[in-house]
Structure 1
Amino acid sequence: MWLCLFDGARERRLELDRGAFGQFSTTVQDAGPGTRYGFRADGPFDPERGHRFDPAKLLVDPYAVTLDQPFHYNARLAAPRADGTDTAALMPKAVVTALPDLAAAPPPLFRPGGFIYEVAVRPFTHLHPEVPEALRGTVAALGHPAILDHLVRLGVDAVELMPITAWIDERHLPPLGLTNGWGYNPVAFMALDPRICPGGIGELAATVAALRSVGIGTILDVVFNHTGESDRFGPTLSLRGLDNATYFRHLTDGTLVNDAGTGNTLACEHPVTRRLILDTLRHFVGRAGVDGFRFDLAPILGRDAGGFSRDADLFRDIAGDPLLADRVMIAEPWDIGPGGYQLGQFPDGWLEWNDRYRDRVRRFWRGDRHMLGEMATALAGSSDVFSPPATRSVNFIAAHDGFSLGDLVAYAGKHNEANGEENRDGHGENFSWNHGHEGPTDDAGIVAARRHDVMALLATLFASRGTIMLTAGDEFGRSQNGNNNAYAQDNALTWLDWDGRDRELEAFTAELAATRRACPQIAGPELLSGEPGTDGLADALWLTPTGTPMTAPDWEAAEAGALAMVLSRDGRRVAVLLNRTADEVSFHLPGREAHTWELEADGCIRVNPRAIAIVTEGVP
């Protein structure tokens, strides 16, 4: 192994000494902050045994915290060893960086039951007119007063930043003239991508502090399931060239396991990989103060040759780490590997993205039959998935992956033609609808109906128990023209249109967030029992519009679309009234002496067609 120091294009190689346990080291007296470096490694090229050493390939330090430039895909990075193609001129160099000591971060601001706002950093501010042009599309832009004002006005509890560490384009994108704009193809886990965080860990820490100053936490979306080195035809950039057999999972014939669907899968069960992951998490908590992490394709974190386990070593390591134990941990609980769907199976305390909630809400408002009971279960925290005492559900209706909220009601099918894959990519079943016209239209009636449906979907989200998540721009009607896999569209298709946003819809969303925050009966993560509490009131009542308790025939009616959920906490009640029907519905709610329901007139509360109302009971 060699340490390679760079002065401009000039490379100086220092051979490392091999010590005990296969560790290589050397001491360099003049490699202070600002020194640019990489590694080279030689050894057998024996894919059947998992070895892919190639000394012609310059390798990025897995512990690099700063890179001098972004990664750019070039076919020469994947040249066979026999070609002898040297890649130093193509590769980013790690930069020696002086770092503050790790320190315990303040307690997380975010708590289960709060409101997460999912942000793709570059498209979020790329077109924002109030953000200085030099800041647009960066992590630092999130700390700009105009952005902070928007987040506060919207009632956000935490921003969840889609991947911000250094990534590389998939090899099929450059010939199509496309680039990966989402970052889910990482190379260096600690190094922040220079395109969106040029100020490195200091920029991230300053932004986290700015958000915290207005009461908003920061969650990082992290990818520890694969690297951008892809399959056997992929580039050699870092872990593959250093120790492919250790860092990646293989079958007995040396074939790379592909549980992530990207060509390779990190061996998270190996102590060396686990340590790299833990050190990365500790770095972002102890030096930037982040509140927590969302883990992409998280079953891979808990899988070994025997399958997935909620008691996996990595989960225990996180729970026992003094810097990480109190952080927010969120799992995307599925991948494409064996036993890959693990919704509800992650360790206690972990929150989980809930696609079952997503699909139930979409199907209910689309008009699917026999959905009233499933909709009620979703609203109440998905007790069929999560065990008492509390739901761990992260409820969402739309996310970065899939249709935007606005496109969900405007397109019956995906339109990913711009991705260059003849519309074969992306989810085929989206449970979406279009009111009889696919895509944009000038028909005022259709436009109004779609907007009305978006409002109903938003109201449903904010009326749901558990944590909720909204993707940036969905509060004001963003569209991707029906593209439900826009990861490679780093252009106007995904850049948020701040000038053209629907400000009335945005204000409606902010009002919903304020209502939710004022109603702990809704936001609380505790699962409902239907039993009386200390106030003598049942924590939940399920009623027909006439005010009678729901019975089996009511739940099982194929076309049933109206329901009242009455929640109680500390002697205060709130009602969530659903009306999916095409007619106005009058709801009669149970009264109490000296109490009146908001909006009640003539003994009932009228809810418009295809709408949801949240009403509170007045306190004498």
Structure 2
Amino acid sequence: MSDRLGAWVEAGETHFAVRSPLASQVWLCLFADENGGGAETRHAMRRDGEVWRLELPVDLTGSRYGLRAAGEWVPEHGLWFDPAKLLVDPYAQELDRRFVQHPSLAQYGADTAGIVPKGIVPGPHRPVDTAPPDIRGGLVYEINVRGFTMLHPDVPEAQRGTVAALAQPAVLAHLRKLHVTAVELMPIVAWIDERHLPPLGLCNAWGYNPVALMALDPGLCPGGVEELRETVAALHAEGIAVILDLVFNHTGESDTQGGVLSLRGLDDAAYAKGPDGALINDAGTGNTLDFANPWVRRLTLDAMRHFVSACGVDGFRFDLATVLARGPGFSPQAPIFAQIAADPLLANRILIAEPWDVGPGGYQLGAFPPHWLEWNDRFRDDVRRFWRGDGSIGALATRLAGSSDVFGADCRSINFLAAHDGFTLADMLAYAERHNHANGEDNRDGHGENFSWNNGVEGPSDDPALLARRQAAARALLGTLFASTGTVMLTAGDEFGRSQQGNNNAYAQDNPVTWVDWAGRDLALEDYVAGLARWRAERRKWFTQFPQAGQWLSRHGPMTVADWEAAGAGYVAYRSDDPARPYGFEVDREASSLQLR
């Protein structure tokens, strides 16, 4: 018998399988109409060890389904069985609606069939057979799928805010202009709003709160797997790789006050717990998935395989990736790394770690496997501090050289100045302090220390001299990014001055705060960035290795480490000695400039 999980059609029969080792009974629930709101038919599933199975002698492709499970309700012991709760299959690939918060999700005995999304029985997908490109040295472009095209005038209104919009000619033309190597899509898997947001009239705009880990969000990807597959193909046709930002560190079922939506009602052992049985919260979101549990690792690997084989994606960025290697403490030899490396479908994928979480020992920059790339926040902070005026030339040179103090000669660094989480590049130069009052948390949320500066005026200004200083600083920062060894990342809109009005944690702003303002673009800055990108693309191979054949220079000649650390030093230059790879730059903090050679 197949050990497959989820729902699938084979030889005219529809198969269902779900793991729930402690349930006394599990039912498959089919819903009569395509909106998932018709009559419900329950079919008792049979136990097969820890898995419950059912086969129906009919092709149910496109049908709506859910699960119910019976057993003990003892939440303090991790038992959350309530037959009144409709549960989403953890292996669902598509859902018929988005998740919504409602008090009944956490109330024992309250039926939730009218609220919870139903899975859609998938039809067969022809496997996509593409080899991912090597993106090292290239440009990764981080995109919030909804915010990126909500205001784009050349995207058909019906497609704005969706995955399909990324395949529109105007969007592809913009990506080509920037010589983008890979797009990194912020989460497109179905998520639920955090409990505190709906009462504030807010909703999650980023998607870092998933429930079913491989189910595409119906709002972002209404065409399901086929929409993602076609969009990936369109990007591939332009030579652009596709990376999905996946959240495997926690789920939206949150803490013990959260809802019973999927894993909690089937197998609460998926969540990490301390010796006293309390939920571990290394993700800072109420729960943490337990990667010491082989079933959690299997779900993770199966989700990755699905996105590769059914959709053709090239790789993954892992949110709070330290959680993946906890059991409970972080280990560079964690089983998940070996399992990915041994998997014929996953071993050659692009793998990017956000190398930290909020748990003990959570900061692990440089500790991931040699073939993984890592977000490098030390590049972000040291480059910001240098151009702000309080960072050292030595730190800047080290970051420009691929952060060899962290990665050696491996050049695994993803260098960035700004990301979705934090100030935009423009706001970093206009706001010394965060302005997050619209998030409803009294401006307490978001990073407190941003190494930002405002040149004496907080927020927007019409002063020509001030604007000139900010524009010069932006160009110097961007020049530093594109001159750096490693792989660089740019968040969509930073190339033309996107602002979030000083909000450095805009996760709850699904509105013009996070929607990219295409009409208000700074086209001069955009053209400048396009020039930087073209210059880098022509020399890309240089940035995949630690710079060796060259000279570091001060104003007076060859530079030493002692020169770098000299108080007040604000100048450094580099010149390649290899005529086959002409390359160089000159950094002058006093003039707020970085010149490329």
Counterpart code for 1:434: N
User: Which residue among 539, 555, 560 is the counterpart of 1:545?
Assistant: 555
1 CA distance for matches of 2:204 and 2:174? Answer: 27
2 CA distance for matches of 1:427 and 1:278? Answer: 32
Q: Mark the CA change 1:32 to 1:482 in structure 2 (over 3 Å): closer, same or farther.
A: same
Q: Which residue of structure 2 aligns with residue 446 of structure 1?
A: 466
User: Which residue among 150, 167, 175 is the counterpart of 1:151?
Assistant: 175
Q: Which residue of structure 2 aligns with residue 286 of structure 1?
A: 309
1 CA distance for matches of 2:561 and 2:231? Answer: 52
TM-score normalised by L of structure 1: 0.90
3-state SS in 1 of match to 2:370: coil
Q: Which residue of structure 2 aligns with residue 73 of structure 1?
A: 101
1 CA distance for matches of 2:55 and 2:511? Answer: 46
Contact 1:120/1:182 (CA < 8 Å) preserved in 2?
yes
Q: Which residue of structure 1 aligns with residue 110 of structure 2?
A: 85
3-state SS in 2 of match to 1:90: coil
2 CA distance for matches of 1:61 and 1:233? Answer: 21
3-state SS in 1 of match to 2:55: coil
1 CA distance for matches of 2:59 and 2:233? Answer: 31
Asked if 1:400 corresponds to 2:420, the answer is yes
Q: Mark the CA change 1:520 to 1:122 in structure 2 (over 3 Å): closer, same or farther.
A: closer
TM-superposed CA distance for 1:570, in Å, is 5.5
TM-superposed CA distance for 1:561, in Å, is 0.5
TM-superposed CA distance for 1:29, in Å, is 2.4
Q: Which residue of structure 1 aligns with residue 44 of structure 2?
A: 15
Counterpart code for 1:144: Q
Q: Which runs of 5+ in 1 are unaligned?
A: 531-538, 582-608, 616-620
Q: Deviations over 1:244-296 (max 9, x none)?
A: 02x11111222111000000000122111111111110011111111100000
3-state SS in 1 of match to 2:303: helix
Alignment of structure 1 residues 402-481 onto 2, 5 Å: 402-481=422-501
Q: Relative to structure 2, which stretch is displaced further, 265-274 or 215-224?
A: 265-274
TM-superposed CA distance for 1:451, in Å, is 1.3
Q: Mark the CA change 1:51 to 1:102 in structure 2 (over 3 Å): closer, same or farther.
A: farther
TM-superposed CA distance for 1:58, in Å, is 0.6
Using the aligned pairs only, state the percent identity: 58
2 CA distance for matches of 1:614 and 1:510? Answer: 14
Alignment of structure 1 residues 217-228 onto 2, 5 Å: 217-228=241-252
Q: Deviations over 1:2-25 (max 9, x none)?
A: 111111331111111112x22211
Asked if 1:381 corresponds to 2:405, the answer is no
Q: Which residue of structure 2 aligns with residue 98 of structure 1?
A: 123
Q: Which residue of structure 2 aligns with residue 303 of structure 1?
A: 326
Contact 1:110/1:291 (CA < 8 Å) preserved in 2?
no
Q: Which residue of structure 2 aligns with residue 141 of structure 1?
A: 165
Counterpart code for 2:495: E
Alignment of structure 1 residues 94-493 onto 2, 5 Å: 94-103=119-128, 105-245=129-269, 247-305=270-328, 307-369=329-391, 371-388=392-409, 390-493=410-513
Q: Which runs of 5+ in 2 are unaligned?
A: 1-25
TM-superposed CA distance for 1:45, in Å, is 2.0
3-state SS in 2 of match to 1:27: strand
3-state SS in 1 of match to 2:583: strand
Contact 1:48/1:253 (CA < 8 Å) preserved in 2?
no
TM-superposed CA distance for 1:557, in Å, is 1.8
3-state SS in 2 of match to 1:18: strand
Asked if 1:613 corresponds to 2:592, the answer is no
Q: Deviations over 1:6-52 (max 9, x none)?
A: 11331111111112x22211222245112111001111222343222
3-state SS in 2 of match to 1:13: strand
TM-superposed CA distance for 1:572, in Å, is 3.6
Contact 1:77/1:235 (CA < 8 Å) preserved in 2?
yes
Contact 1:464/1:522 (CA < 8 Å) preserved in 2?
no
Alignment of structure 1 residues 517-596 onto 2, 5 Å: 517-520=537-540, 522-523=542-543, 525-528=544-547, 530=548, 539-546=549-556, 548-569=557-578, 571-581=580-590
Contact 1:230/1:264 (CA < 8 Å) preserved in 2?
yes
TM-superposed CA distance for 1:190, in Å, is 1.3
Q: Relative to structure 2, which stretch is displaced further, 25-34 or 271-280?
A: 25-34
Give every structure 1 segment of 4 or more consecutive aligned residues whose post-TM-superposition deviation is greater than 4 Å.
none
Contact 2:190/2:215 (CA < 8 Å) preserved in 1?
yes
Contact 2:539/2:581 (CA < 8 Å) preserved in 1?
no
Counterpart code for 1:541: Q
Q: Mark the CA change 1:98 to 1:570 in structure 2 (over 3 Å): closer, same or farther.
A: farther
Q: Mark the CA change 1:572 to 1:27 in structure 2 (over 3 Å): closer, same or farther.
A: closer
Q: Which residue of structure 2 aligns with residue 55 of structure 1?
A: 83
TM-score normalised by L of structure 2: 0.93
2 CA distance for matches of 1:197 and 1:99? Answer: 18
- Please, what is the CA RMSD of the aligned residues? 1.2
2 CA distance for matches of 1:553 and 1:254? Answer: 53
Q: Deviations over 1:475-522 (max 9, x none)?
A: 000000000000010001110111110111000000000111122464
